[in-house]
Amino acid sequence: MRILIANDDGYLAPGLVALVQACRGLGEIDVVAPEQNASGMSNSLTLNRPLSVFAARGGPSDGFRVVNGTPSDCVHVAMTGLLEHRPDLVLSGINNGENMGDDTLYSGTVAAAMEGFLFGVPAIAFSLKHKGWTNLDAAARAARRVVQAAVADPSFGQPGAAPWLLNVNFPNRPDADTLPWATTRLGRRHASEPVIAQKNPRGDTIYWIGPAGDAREAGAGTDFHAVANDRVSITPLQVDLTDHANLDDQPARFAWSVRSTCSGVGLPRGAPVTGDSPRSRRFPAQWTSGTRAAAPGGTARNPLRPQALLHQAAQDAARHVVPTGLGLDNGPMRERMVSRLRAEGIRTPALLDAFAAVPRHRFVDTALAIQAYEDTSLPIGLGQTISKPSVVARQLQWLFDGANASRLGHLGRTLEIGSGCGYQTALLARLAPTVISIERLQPLHHMARRHLDTLGVPGVRLVHGDGRVGHSPNAPYDSIVAAAGGEAVPQAWLEQLAVGGRLVAPTAMPGLAGQALVIVDRTTDGFVRQIGETVTFVPLKSGIG
C-alpha cells in the first residue's frame, strides 16, 4: 500500500511527524507538505505563480517533500506528476486543533484529504482538539488504529470501489488511543467573533480575523458531542453542497426548473455514478474501541523513501508523466480554447483546427497541466515559458495573411526561432509541409524532441543552434516566426526570407516598456514593415547553451 501524507500546519509541524511515524509499517509513505503554516486555506489552489518543490534535510522532517503552496497544492502536485506512483490512501494531519462543524469548510487539513478524494483516492483528515500538541502521541496511536480499520474493509483497493472521505477528531486525552469511536455528523458553530482592530507602526488600522464561534448545534450524533463525551469522532464527508431538501421549492420561486437530469454531481473525479452510497454501508453507526483491525500484511522495506530532490532533479524533469483522469484528453477542453480564439478574431480554419488537435497539456509540466487550456503563459524551465495560446494564434494568423501563404493555402517552408517545449512547432507541423525549428538551449532542444517524438509529429527538423543567425541551408523561407524578442530584427532573418514571404517577430519598440510584434514582408522591391500588437516575450540571445 502506498500512502501520501500532507497537512496544513507546515512540514515542520509535530503533528505531521507524529502521523508519519505512527503509520510506519503500514506501507510505503510519501510526504508532501506546505513550506509554511497554511491553516484556513480551504481548497485553494495556487494559479497565479509556479510552485517550487524541495526536499527537507535533517531533523524529524528529513526526506519530506516541501511545496511553497497550499495544502491542496501539495496533494494536487503529488497526484498529477510529482510522485511516480498513484497512492492508495491519502492522509492529512494531525492538525493542531479540532476541525469540527463549520471548521471543515475552512480547514486546510480537510482540504488536503479532500483533494485526494477528488482524484478518486480514499482519504482521512486527522485533528486533535485544542492547540498545543498535548497528548499528541496518544492521538497518533489512535490515528494508526483508524487507518488500520479503514483499509481492512474488503473493498479497499479493489478496482471500481468508490473512494471515501473521513474527518476524524480526537479528544485531547492521554488515553485517546483507547477511547471508543463514534460515527457522527457535522455540528454547527455560532458566527465567528468580531475582527480585532489594531494599529501598525505607521498608524494604519489593521485587522485580525477573530476566533471561531462556539458550538451552536452540538447535540447527540454530532462531532462536537462525541468529542465532548470522550469519543473519537469519525465523520464521513461528501463534496456535494446541493441543498436537496429545498430543490422542490425553487421552480416556483424562480419560475424555471432546477431539477437536472444529471446525476453524480459532486462525486469524485472518475468515480462511478451509482444510486446508493457505499460509505453508509462501510462505516457503522457506532464504532467502539473493540473495532481493532490488524495491520495490512507486508511491511515496506523503506517506508519514508527519502527524496534527495537536488540530485534527482534531472531525472524528475526527464520523467514527463502524462496526467490522466483530469479530462485533458477530451476534445471539449480544447474546443473551448478554440472558441475563445475564434472570438478574438482568429479566422483561418486550418489554424483553428491545429489548436483543436494539438494537446497543449502534453508540452507542460504535469503539475501545471490543469492550466494548459487557459490563456496563460506557463514556465517550461531555464527561465523560458510556453506562450499564451492567444499570442501564438495571432502570430500564426499574421503569417497566414502573408502573400506566399495566401497563394499556397499553407505556410510553405517555415523557420521557427526558439523551439522551446515544442508546442508551437507541433502547430506549425500541421500548417506547413516543412518546418525547421532552432533552439539555442540544449535541454529545451531535447525537451522539444521528446515531446514531438512522443506525439509522432512529422515534417519537423530540430536544430540546436544560434537562432539569431537563422538556418541558411534550408533558406529561403516562406514564413519565419520568432518566440523571442531583440532590439531589432536580425539581418540574417531578412536575408533568408523568400520574396513573397512574411516574418513575424517580437521586437523592442522605442517609447514602449515592452515589445510589439513586427511584421516584415519581402517584395521584389525590398522589405515592407508594419507594427502589430504589444506583447511580452523572453529576450533574444545569441550563442548556444
What is the per-residue pLDDT across 171-200, written as a single tens digit (0 to 9) for each? 999 999 999 999 998 888 777 677 788 888
What pLDDT score was predicted for residue 158? 83
pTM of model > 0.75: no
- Cell numbers found for residue 354: 491545429
Q: What architecture is domain 2-188+215-282? A: 3-Layer(aba) Sandwich (3.40)
pLDDT band at 468 (very low <50, low <70, confident <90, very high): very high
Can you give the three-state secondary structure of 256-287, one letter per residue?
CCCCCCCCCCCCCCCCCCCCCCHHHHHCCCCC
Measured CA to CA, the distance from residue 275 to residue 264 in angstroms comes to: 9
Average of per-residue pLDDT across 55-63: 87
For all residues of the chain together, what is the average pLDDT? Answer: 83
The CA distances from residue 375 to 37, 43, 329, 334, 378, in Å, are 31, 23, 18, 11, 10
- Is the pLDDT confidence value at 166 over 60? yes
Q: Under CATH, domain 320-535 is a member of which superfamily?
A: Vaccinia Virus protein VP39 (3.40.50.150)
Residues 201-251 pLDDT 10s: 888 888 887 777 677 777 888 989 999 999 999 999 988 888 777 777 666
- Is the pLDDT confidence value at 136 over 70? yes
Q: Which amino acid is at 44?
A: S
**Which residue has better confidence, 243 or 35?**
35
Q: Contact at 8 Å (CB) between 179 and 292?
A: no
- Is the pLDDT confidence value at 169 over 90? yes
- Cell numbers found for residue 81: 506528476
2-188+215-282 and 320-535 in the same fold = no
Residues 347-397 pLDDT 10s: 999 999 999 999 998 998 776 777 788 888 888 888 788 999 999 999 999
| DSSP H helices in 221-262 | 223-228, 250-254
Domain ranges (residues) in the chain: 2-188+215-282, 320-535
Q: Phi and psi at residue 518, in whole multiples of 5°?
A: -105, 130
